[in-house]
């Protein structure tokens, strides 16, 4: 069996993209990155960008119980449990700067990602791991992307779907301003994605955000009113 056949066989046996990522030796052949790309709607000419994100995933991913991560091939020695606020801020800025380097790659992949209701995907899995590593830096990064792509409805809707799939219940209020911005967007696609987040979070603040919003399509308004009635009955 040649190398490419072996790659294809490994891919077929993988239960999900996430499983396959964890099975990879990141020093293996370029063909494996190409094959992995087939599962995420990435075109062949985007493989170098996809490879960058895979390596970012490797560099910033670490067990939630660990206090350090690898950034730019160098181990950051400062403990995240340090009581020195300057050390913590320096560490956070390093991680944020590293994430910022990959924003364009992330956005390119996000725009080619298909979202299915209730189903995670490669991009949401990566973001979830970033959140486990450093939640507040990741939230700041997502907020920055949202601010930078306010005219791109596909990116905004994609970010909202990522937020729906990844944000912890205790952190809902931190990213509610992004959801409210989505509700106020002129794009029905973005408004729908924002309502899907609220449907998942189901908090009183979410209900208030829906009740104070104006919707630009009858279909979206009907969807919003349905969620409003559900939340009123559930929360009040």
User: Considering the chain, what is the average pLDDT of its residues?
Assistant: 76
pLDDT given for residue 206 in this prediction: 95
pLDDT given for residue 139 in this prediction: 96
Q: Does residue 159 surpass a pLDDT of 90?
A: yes
Q: Does residue 12 surpass a pLDDT of 90?
A: no
CB 68 within 8 Å of CB 60: no
Q: Does residue 39 surpass a pLDDT of 60?
A: no
CB 121 within 8 Å of CB 162: no
Q: How confident is the model at residue 120 (pLDDT cuts 50, 70, 90)?
A: confident
Q: pLDDT: is 140 or 1 the higher one?
A: 140
For tokens 């992995």, the residue is 36
- CA angle at residue 174 from 63 to 176, to 5 degrees? 125
Return the half-sphere exposure (C-beta side, CA atoms, 13 A cut-off) of residue 94.
Answer: 20
Determine the average pLDDT of the residues in 84-108: 86
Q: What gap in Å lies between CA 126 and CA 39, rounded to an integer?
A: 15
Determine the average pLDDT of the residues in 42-47: 49
Could you give the C-alpha distances from 77 to 87, 114, 133, in angstroms and in order? 10, 38, 15
Q: pLDDT: is 53 or 118 the higher one?
A: 118
Strand partners, 71: 74
Mind listing the domains of the chain with CATH numbers?
168-236 (1.25.10)
Determine the average pLDDT of the residues in 51-62: 53
Helices (H) and strands (E) in the chain, counts: 13, 2
Q: Does residue 6 surpass a pLDDT of 90?
A: no
Read off φ and ψ for residue 135, nearest 5 degrees. -65, -45
């Amino acid at each position: 069996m040649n190398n490419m056949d072996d790659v294809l066989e490994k891919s077929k046996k993988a239960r999900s993209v996430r499983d396959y990522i964890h099975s990879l030796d990141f020093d293996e052949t370029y063909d494996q990155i190409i094959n992995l790309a087939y599962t995420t709607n990435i075109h062949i000419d985007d493989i170098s960008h996809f490879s960058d994100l895979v390596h970012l995933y490797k560099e910033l991913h670490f067990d939630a119980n660990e206090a350090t991560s690898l950034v730019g091939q160098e181990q950051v020695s400062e403990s995240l449990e340090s009581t020195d606020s300057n050390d913590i801020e320096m560490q956070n800025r390093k991680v944020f700067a590293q994430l910022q380097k990959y924003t364009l790659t992330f956005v390119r992949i996000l725009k080619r990602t298909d979202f299915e209701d209730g189903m995670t995907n490669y991009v949401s899995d990566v973001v979830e791991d970033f959140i486990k590593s450093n939640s507040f830096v990741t939230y700041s990064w997502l907020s920055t992307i949202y601010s930078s792509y306010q005219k791109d409805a596909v990116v905004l809707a994609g970010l909202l779907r990522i937020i729906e799939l990844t944000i912890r219940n205790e952190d809902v209020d931190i990213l509610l301003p992004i959801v409210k911005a989505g509700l106020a967007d002129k794009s029905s696609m973005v408004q729908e994605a924002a309502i899907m987040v609220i449907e998942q979070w189901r908090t009183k603040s979410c209900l208030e955000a829906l009740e104070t919003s104006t919707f630009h399509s009858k279909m979206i308004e009907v969807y919003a009113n349905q969620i409003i009635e559900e939340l009123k009955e559930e929360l009040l």
